[in-house]
Chain A
């Protein structure tokens, strides 16, 4: 593990952005990814360690003006215990419910899960189908500035994000969903707890009877980053769900994913799982 010359625990977003401006910083939130990654040498710690846990602006969960704002320091347990998440952001709630173990959920933050940018990151797939925006804060000219971008443009590859080294994730914003909006998340691993997804699927749409509109589909662990699947979405958009439509959507999904073979599963198995489980999810939507 690398040496740390400087440890700071800022009390405000402004102080944290100031620390980042000085450069060579590693950000610490829950630590559940950072500790094993830094110990194994995969992510060597930079000379300054900034613990952002005590920053009130980065906490909480609120709904106002048609949007839901999630503080990046919200733990997975806080999200799982939230009625707002359970009722309005079902796909995210399901991801939080199947996330690691109780001990990890109690410490891990959603901001950490996003910034870790794992191709299998549990919260990324539901946030993609919820069209989440991320907000980044920095102090380029001595004053706190923020920029927002879609999550889809934020996660670039395994462990890679659009976050500049002087920026920190300051918020996650999701549009408050309309009444007819449904969303769901499916994750498959070899055992229920503490497993990294072999595949995951996010689905969201507005529905009137069997017809779907504003369809969003995302897949995890089948490409270098969690991806939206526009051709799959197009195969479902404005259609009434029947066996033919479901079959066409599963076919489109198969063409859009690029799984690899690794220790967790083979390319063939991942494709098979995506096709079958996506078909099952759509059938469930049709029948319920």
Chain B
């Protein structure tokens, strides 16, 4: 049996305490311990981005992060984003543009899109494309995804 570690962190704005095995990933902790199943498990190697979450304000692959390393940090998952006004704006834009097909990659892509909005990065489609280079969509809906991101990005810039 692996050593168990007690960790505390802020998750979607709520103080959270959990005991995790030293070998558990942050993704497993979120899905299996905390029942936050919006964050998806797919490749498990940091290639596909379906498990993207935000840690201390930047996006990471939760499948590559040790759960123990969440101690003392600030996490946001798609559930946290969905409850915010930015999340609502992204959801509206993705819906309007038909950017959700099977939906599996959508949470990870929305987390990445949110990080662009937070950083006040460029809204140019070519630049947005680079920001989701770590997110794979097997339905190949990239054009609509980029359109949605650009729309939400411009709206955020205009303070809409």
Contacts and interface: CB of A to CB of B under 8 A. Distances in A.
Interface of A: 1-7, 9, 28, 30-32, 35-36, 38-39, 45, 49, 51, 53-54, 77, 100-104, 106-107, 192-194
Contact of A103 (B2, B52, B72): B52
A192 B132 CA distance: 12
27 contacts: A2-B23, A4-B2, A4-B3, A7-B68, A9-B68, A28-B66, A32-B64, A35-B25, A35-B63, A35-B64, A36-B46, A39-B44, A49-B66, A49-B68, A100-B46, A100-B134, A101-B133, A102-B59, A103-B59, A104-B61, A106-B60, A107-B55, A107-B61, A107-B64, A192-B133, A193-B133, A194-B133
Contacts of B58: 77, 106
A100 B134 CA distance: 8
Nearest to B54: A106
Contacts of A5: 2-3
A36 B45 contact: yes
B2 A102 contact: no
Q: Which 4 A-B pairs have the closest CB atoms?
A: A101-B134, A193-B133, A4-B22, A106-B58
Given A36-B64, A101-B135, A106-B58, 8 more contacts: A3-B23, A35-B64, A35-B66, A36-B44, A51-B66, A102-B131, A103-B60, A107-B64
Contacts of B71: 9
Interface string B1-21: 111010000000000000001
Contacts of A6: 3
A103 B69 contact: no
Contacts of B23: 1-4, 38, 45
Contacts of A45: 23
B119 to A, nearest CB: 10
B97 interface: no
Contacts of B135: 101
A45 B3 CA distance: 13
Interface in B30-62: 44-47, 49, 52, 55, 58-61
A103 B46 contact: yes
B122 interface: no
Nearest to B52: A103
B93 interface: no
B44 to A, nearest CB: 7
A45 B63 CA distance: 17
A213 B112 CA distance: 44
A29 to B, nearest CB: 9
A25 to B, nearest CB: 13
Interface in B76-128: 112, 115
Contacts of A28: 66, 69
B133 A7 contact: no
B156 interface: no
A35 B65 contact: yes
A196 to B, nearest CB: 11
A101 B22 CA distance: 26
Contacts of B131: 102
B109 to A, nearest CB: 11
A7 B64 contact: no
Most buried by B among A2, A49, A53, A103: A103
A102 B115 contact: yes
Nearest to A7: B22
A3 B60 CA distance: 25
A45 B22 CA distance: 10
A45 B25 CA distance: 14
A77 B93 CA distance: 28
Nearest to B45: A36
B81 to A, nearest CB: 15
A2 B23 CA distance: 8
B44 A193 contact: no
A97 to B, nearest CB: 10
A38 B63 CA distance: 12
A84 to B, nearest CB: 20
